[in-house]
Chain A
Amino acid sequence: MTIMLSIARNEARRIFVSPLAWTVLAVLQAILGIVFLLLLIEYAQDADSERRYTGVADYIGNGLYGFATLVLLMIVPLLTMRAFAEDRRSGSLQLLLAAPASLVDIVLGKFLGLTVFTFAAIALIAVMPLMLLVGTELDLGRIAAGLLGLALLMMAFTAAGLFVSALTREPTIAAVGGFGLLLGFWLMQVLGSQSGPVGEMLGYLALTGHFENLKRGVFSSADVAYYLLFIGVFLWLTVLRLDSERG
């Protein structure tokens, strides 16, 4: 347990002393800032918008979070590629493997370290809608639900990215593979719109579908459980993969 936290702390430190994390945060913030501004202008110019949406939190939150998932989908694999693929190539993974740490400690440690980064990104995103508090009243519960969904989604991306990262020793392959896997789960949403049991099942498995409820402010434990299961399955697969590599 303490080893796991040490690994997590070390991973977080390594992420934040590298320029990659700061670049990612800066780009993320710049793009989402522009989107946020555009949404705000559009909302202000459209006289009808107050009638069509239930408050500004609905409109802004929906658009901003929706766009954020797309950007994160592309960014998270860039962060997870370092976790195992790059460490394996540089040899530093051996440090953890030779230490008295279990594979569960190692995988969870890496995951938690990346989650620290996730929360930093979410905190920065949260600032944008909360800024509106200066001029108007917001449905805070709704914004919080959206942010929780975003955090769960990002953690799910991270878990899937870690698994792909554990498969290879080439960071670029890990990034491309992670991106492909996430996009695959994304596309299930499209297939899910087909009728029939297969379509329904795919629609249920799709990563982003469960985010829709949270974005609308509906906190359903089924959706949260879906994400937790998704995270658990991919972290477990990562452990299995590392174990099979060891012997």
Chain B
Amino acid sequence: MTPLNLLEAHGLSCRYGPHQAVNDLNLSLKRGEILGLLGANGAGKSTTMKMLAGVLAPSNGHVTVNGISLAENPKAAKQQLGYLPEQPPLYPELTVVEYLRFCSELREIPRKARPNAVNRAMVECDLQSLSKRLIGNLSKGYQQRCGIAQAILHQPAIVILDEPTVGLDPIQIRGIRRLIRTLGSERGIVLSSHILAEIQTVCHRVVIMRQGRLVYDEPLSVADSKSFDTILVGFARTPNLDELAAIQGIDGITALDDRRLRIAVVSGEDPRAAIANTAVARGWGLNELHAEFRTLEDVFVRLTARDDDALTDQTTGTAA
């Protein structure tokens, strides 16, 4: 019986001395899902991925891989994992093919299947023409691809990629994204990045971390849909707030200044037409009216802005 979630983390914490790098993190990954891990620098993304990959033991909490506990049975669990760390784990003095051959031994791929596995990984990462070159002489982008090849060599059920497109040129980035999407169709992938566009084009679900905590966990469709919670309106003359508040679908009004308001909307309602009608009928001189769509970028900025703690906490409550 295969468990529902490929990867599951419960109450994951990691402490470096007094510094709490990751704090009580819960995460799950389904088969066929590409999960994007977003966060500002130092939010704990890499530490989380290290713990998921079994490179770093968590101070608290546990990880199960395909139903196998990473702490109790690390060997079996790690066989299901492919991991690309932030810095690709390469040996610069070896050639690409020597390196991948060693990785295939490390991953305990049966001897007969090794040449095939190495070739396939090289083809997938577009490295065939460089197989005899020393890794140390390759450009950053190709080294990154060697790192990815190593992570997918043994066709693991879960692939953990820590900033896989760093140092690649735009064409290579598209290639890697295509590869990730292909891989993601039958596996589970955890991907970290601080490039929003990357997460938006590749991932199905987004998780945002801030100061070691998970502050957002939603399918990408929610963040990216045309939903909105607020409307921005501006008038030439000061409006009557009570009259405005009486309109169907309006939850609350915040005055930005005398004539500009941010109106909170009851979810699912769209009072824009009603507001326009009222404004015209009362002669307030409507000169601005637009919904503030919730893009991933807004969510990210709102959740990770450091100097705006009150707002962040409020959002955390609703997102969780």
Contact = CB atoms under 8 A, between A and B. Distances in A.
Partners in one complex: yes
A97 B86 CA distance: 14
A153 B50 CA distance: 38
A95 B106 contact: yes
Given A91-B85, A94-B55, A14 B105 contact: no
Contacts of A14: 91, 93-94
B89 interface: yes
A99 B93 contact: no
Interface stretch (B71-79, B207-215, B275-283): B71-79
A94 B108 contact: no
A101 B106 contact: yes
Given A92-B89, A246-B55, A13 B98 contact: yes
Contact of A98 (B57, B81, B86): B81
A6 B105 contact: yes
Sort chain A's interface into a size bin. Answer: 20 to 34
Interface in A71-99: 90-99
Interface string B197-220: 000000000000000000000000
A196 interface: no
A23 interface: no
A168 interface: no
A95 B58 CA distance: 18
Contacts of B94: 13-14, 17
A91 B94 CA distance: 15
A214 interface: no
Contacts of B59: 247
A98 B102 contact: no
B83 A98 contact: yes
B89 A100 contact: no
Given A90-B87, A100-B75, A247-B56, A95 B105 contact: no
A91 B135 CA distance: 14
Contact of B75 (A6, A93, A102): A102
- Of residues A18, A92, A97, A99, which shows the largest number of chain B Cβ atoms within 10 Å of its Cβ? A99
Contacts of A92: 89-91
A17 B93 contact: yes
B93 A98 contact: no
A3 B105 contact: yes
A220 interface: no
Nearest to B54: A98
- Of residues A91, A95, A96, A97, which shows the largest number of chain B Cβ atoms within 10 Å of its Cβ? A95
B53 interface: yes
Interface in A109-143: none
A98 B78 contact: yes
B103 interface: yes
A50 B127 CA distance: 66
Interface in A1-42: 2-3, 6-7, 10, 13-14, 17-18
A3 B85 contact: no
Nearest to A95: B89
A91 B89 contact: yes
A91 B102 CA distance: 16
B95 to A, nearest CB: 9
A50 to B, nearest CB: 50
B56 A99 contact: no
A95 B150 contact: yes
A100 B75 CA distance: 4
Contacts of A97: 54-55
B115 interface: no
Contacts of B102: 6, 10
B88 interface: yes
A73 B94 CA distance: 28
Interface in B101-158: 102-103, 105-108, 150
19 contacts: A3-B105, A3-B106, A6-B102, A6-B106, A7-B106, A10-B102, A17-B93, A90-B87, A90-B89, A91-B90, A94-B55, A94-B85, A95-B103, A95-B106, A97-B54, A97-B55, A100-B75, A246-B55, A247-B57
Q: Which 7 A/B pairs are nearest by Cβ-Cβ distance?
A: A247-B57, A91-B87, A95-B89, A6-B105, A100-B78, A99-B106, A98-B83
Given A98-B55, A98-B89, 12 more contacts: A6-B105, A13-B94, A91-B88, A91-B90, A94-B87, A95-B90, A95-B106, A98-B85, A99-B106, A100-B107, A101-B106, A247-B59
Interface of B: 53-59, 74-76, 78-79, 81, 83, 85-94, 98, 102-103, 105-108, 150
